[in-house]
Amino acid sequence: MKKYIITFTLYLFILCSIWCGGLFYFVSNFNQQNELSDTLSDGIVVFTGSPGRINEGLSLLEKNISNIMLVTGVNKSSFLSTENWIKSKTLKYNCCIELETNAKNTNGNAKETINWINKNNLNSIHLVTSSYHILRSEIELKRIAPKDLIIIRHPVKDPNTRSLKPISYFILISLEYSKFIISLLQLRLGL
């Protein structure tokens, strides 16, 4: 019995060490922008959530990085206020920006993005979302995207994370990392 406890403890230690090493790698990489962040693309996609994401997408649109933009995951109850806010920030709303309200989570954002990509016959996009969310968002897209789709990551630092206590930040990042691992396994296994 003692042998099984020691073996179980050893395996648990190894598993925890691998998880912690992966978490360290995840944290050190999620703020890195793609080297092509100023490269032109066929479209800009903003996954809604934390503040600053739509602003960053609008900034890319105003720099003519692309001519069209999708904001996915807009809450139906705030659709009009979001639409009016965007119209107050840019003259490109009517010609170039589409708001999507069906997505309720990251997987839904990815599905609606692929629908938009197919509808507009796009080959490349700038993906704009919070820095801690960018890697999982990219994987969710890759799971269902055409193999030749070019995804240019454009992470946005979430101002809300600055006010979190260290333990709350650790929990947030740990949960996102765990979801990232699940998404990565699904991608690798073709699920």
Choose from 74-83, 113-122, 177-186 the range with maximum mean pLDDT. Answer: 113-122
Confidence class for position 98, pLDDT limits 50, 70, 90: very high
pLDDT digits (tens, 9 = 90+) for 116-155: 999 999 999 999 998 888 888 999 999 999 889 999 988 8
Q: How far apart are CA 182 and CA 187, in angstroms?
A: 9
Confidence class for position 42, pLDDT limits 50, 70, 90: very high
Closest CA to 62 of 84, 37, 93: 93
User: 123 and 150 in contact (C-beta within 8 Å)?
Assistant: yes
3-state class of 19 per DSSP?
A: helix
Q: How far apart are CA 8 and CA 143, in angstroms?
A: 34
Confidence class for position 178, pLDDT limits 50, 70, 90: confident
Residue ranges of domains in the chain, CATH in brackets = 31-189 (3.40.50.620)
Residues in the chain: 191
Closest CA to 141 of 119, 100, 113: 113
Question: In angstroms, what CA-CA distances link 33 with 38, 155, 176?
Answer: 10, 6, 18
User: 159 and 52 in contact (C-beta within 8 Å)?
Assistant: yes
Give pLDDT, residue 79: 92
Whether the pLDDT of residue 35 is over 60: the answer is no
Q: Which residues contact 139 (CB under 8 A, 6 or more apart)?
A: 180, 183, 184, 187
